[in-house]
Amino acid sequence: MGGFDSPLGKKSCGAPQLREFDIPDESGYAGPPMENDEPVVRRRQNPQINADQIRDFQAKMQREEMPEYDEDAAEIERQIRQARKEKISGKSRLDDGAKRRIEMLLGMTRSYRRVEVGEVTFDLQTLKSKEMRDSLMVAAEYDGTIQGPFELRRQLLARSISKISDIDFANFIGTTDVEGKLQFIDAMYEPLISRVYEEYLVLAREARDKYSIKTAQEAKEVLEDLKK
């Protein structure tokens, strides 16, 4: 360490301390582009897409857009189980086509007749098997009594009358209940009931003659049909 001595004073000096600097490694730095240099454009390479990946992606999207597939499958399985149960029990429900055919057959075999009494008309129809059976069962309770024929007449007419003056019978009396129809017939005058009932008997005879077997040939054809 050095120093100096003068009239102004004495001063000693030491060696100066050096500062330390951290300098980053910029060996790969090319520096800013010069005016005459062309800019360097770096392109990003597009990833290669496999065709199988595209198909898998499309299939996945279709499955996500069609959630009803599971519901349809469940409905089909339910119908299969129901069909198996019906097959085991021996009871099968009629499909829509069979129901329509039965309805058409009933419409073809049912006969109608219109009765005009003054300004009032009565539309009569032949009865189904159940309607006839119900009428006879009720009337059978009065078998052998004076009430028997009257009860049978009112039971048949209550089910045979379909319209009164072109108004549906149920709408005309305000109810579809058979008991309500019977009460309406009970309120009719006897001559009117007798006339309507006579017309019903004519209708019943015509229907019976229409569908009855009249010749031996028809009987043979019916027998052959039953054997099929």
Distance CA 54, CA 196 (A): 81
Q: What percent of the chain has pLDDT over 70?
A: 49
Tokens of residue 195, six digits: 């006339």
pLDDT in tens, 194-205: 999 999 999 999
Going by the DSSP 8-state scheme, the letter that residue 17 receives in this structure is P
pLDDT of residue 123: 97
pLDDT in tens, 95-142: 666 666 666 556 566 889 999 998 999 999 999 889 999 999 999 999
* 126 Cβ contact partners less than 8 Å away, ≥ 6 residues apart: 110, 111, 112, 160, 203, 204, 207
pLDDT of residue 23: 57
Q: Is 11 helix (H, G, I), strand (E, B) or coil?
A: strand
Q: Is 93 helix (H, G, I), strand (E, B) or coil?
A: coil
What residue segments make up the domains of the chain, in order of their start?
A: 59-89, 110-211
Residue 90: pLDDT band (50, 70, 90) is low
pLDDT of residue 78: 74
